[in-house]
Structure 1
Amino acid sequence: MFEPNPPTDQPVNADPDQVLMLQYASGNARAFELLYSKHKGPLYRYFVRQIYDNQLAEDLYQEAWSRVIKAAANYQAKAKFTTWLYRIAHNLIIDHVRAKKPESSFSDTFEDEQETEFVASCLSESPEQLLQQQKKALLLKDCVKDLPQVQQEAFLLNIEMGFTAATIADIAGATVEATKSRLRYANKGLKACVDLKWQEVEYD
């Protein structure tokens, strides 16, 4: 089953990876090798961080590349290759989670509050201090696991991959505003979770 063509919000000239993908579609195997080498590490981590099962993450990772290969003949360079690649990965994870959980688990549940931009760091008010403390880093990792799936994905794509809210929205098939809300609530929830767990550690 081929993936849908990439969205149309990015110019072709902005993405060298598109050129490689088009070259691969024309029969250049070396072009695919270059794409694979560049994206294999981040893409694999994307699966591992959300699946927490190395074997299943490996299976989904291989399936993602299989879909890239199958879609090559119909590929159109209308968006950044990375956005298209992670949209394929996103769809695989959604299919996996939906097979295990009811559809309602994908809904964002936000409490009512004044409309403000939550710009504070997702780690703490002083990110450097948090990163210097191994225990808090481990607490953060545990807290990320407890986030709702849509918030977790948005957080990981933003923090680990450096994707903007607009790019994450393209990947997840959501609006930019919804994506900003997911990031805002993920940041807020992670800070509260780490603070609470840190207090428990201090009192042990």
Structure 2
Amino acid sequence: MAEETTDEQLMLAYAQGDMRAFETLYQRHRGMLYRFIFRSANNRATADEMFQETWSRLIAARARYRPEAKFSTYLLQIAQNLIVDSYRRNRPQAGVEETEEIMRTLDAPESEQPERVLSEFEQRRGLQRVLEDLPAEQRSAFLLRIESGLGLEEIARVTGAGQETVKSRLRYALAKIRERIGA
């Protein structure tokens, strides 16, 4: 498949049986999709399972696909629905407190060295912790904007919320992130 072929054209070709079209779609979107799911799930095993299930559902729905929105929006909407279902099934999540306790233990020596500059890994982990503390709706909106580059209208489609609600969720998420990172 040529690089200039749109995702929507590729999905329609795949619906007609073109396996190369699916392979191209998978190559284009696997990294973005996995990052979104992983940061939403906060658990590699769960993220792996949801990643596979997202692609399975896409495959199962290929004949019903209509290019009414960007393909990435369609794909992320499938993933978002799986994430929401997972939150509903797993409230409250087991192991979160244990993980935080381990992280506090690991962070103790660093807090004794305030002059030490945080490494890139530590900064990413700090951001991940802030994201984990955000309400699910704010975290999803933030990740869809930052990780996937979606606009307000596309995020609204993926999450099923109004654009003003999405804008509000993003504003609150950014305020909480700035507050926690600045602290």
Q: CA deviation at 1:77?
A: 1.6
Q: CA deviation at 1:140?
A: 2.2
Q: Pairwise mapping of residues 131-150 of structure 1 onto structure 2 (< 5 A)?
A: 135-150=122-137
Please say if residues 24 and 32 of structure 1, whose CA atoms lie closer than 8 Å, have aligned partners that are also in contact: yes
- d(CA) in 2 for partners of 1:194 and 1:72? 42
Q: What does residue 67 of structure 1 align with?
A: 57
Please say if residues 39 and 128 of structure 2, whose CA atoms lie closer than 8 Å, have aligned partners that are also in contact: no
Please say if residues 136 and 194 of structure 1, whose CA atoms lie closer than 8 Å, have aligned partners that are also in contact: no
Q: What does residue 47 of structure 2 align with?
A: 57
Q: CA deviation at 1:82?
A: 0.7
Q: CA deviation at 1:133?
A: 6.7
Q: What does residue 30 of structure 2 align with?
A: 40
Q: What does residue 18 of structure 1 align with?
A: 8
Indicate whether 1:158 and 2:148 are aligned.
Answer: no
| Alignment partner of 2:70 out of 73, 76, 80 | 80
| Alignment partner of 1:99 out of 71, 77, 89 | 89
Q: CA deviation at 1:90?
A: 0.3
Question: What code does the residue aligned with 2:133 have?
Answer: D
Change (3 A) 1:137 1:58: closer
Please say if residues 151 and 185 of structure 1, whose CA atoms lie closer than 8 Å, have aligned partners that are also in contact: yes
Question: What code does the residue aligned with 1:146 have?
Answer: D
Please say if residues 23 and 31 of structure 1, whose CA atoms lie closer than 8 Å, have aligned partners that are also in contact: yes
Indicate whether 1:177 and 2:164 are aligned.
Answer: yes
Q: Which has the higher helix share?
A: 2
Name stretches of at least 5 consecutive residues in structure 2 with no aligned partner: 93-117
Name stretches of at least 5 consecutive residues in structure 1 with no aligned partner: 1-14, 103-130, 197-204
Question: What code does the residue aligned with 1:182 have?
Answer: R
Q: CA deviation at 1:28?
A: 0.6
State TM-score, norm by structure 2.
0.79
After TM superposition, where is structure 1 displaced by more than 4 Å over at least 4 residues in a row? Answer: 131-137
* SS of 1:77 mapped into structure 2: coil
State TM-score, norm by structure 1.
0.71
Task: Tell me the percent identity.
Answer: 44
Q: CA deviation at 1:41?
A: 0.7
Q: Pairwise mapping of residues 113-124 of structure 1 onto structure 2 (< 5 A)?
A: none
Change (3 A) 1:142 1:20: same
Please say if residues 47 and 60 of structure 1, whose CA atoms lie closer than 8 Å, have aligned partners that are also in contact: yes
Q: CA deviation at 1:134?
A: 6.2
* SS of 1:194 mapped into structure 2: helix
Change (3 A) 1:91 1:134: closer
Please say if residues 140 and 194 of structure 1, whose CA atoms lie closer than 8 Å, have aligned partners that are also in contact: yes
Superposition RMSD on alpha carbons, in Å?
Answer: 1.9
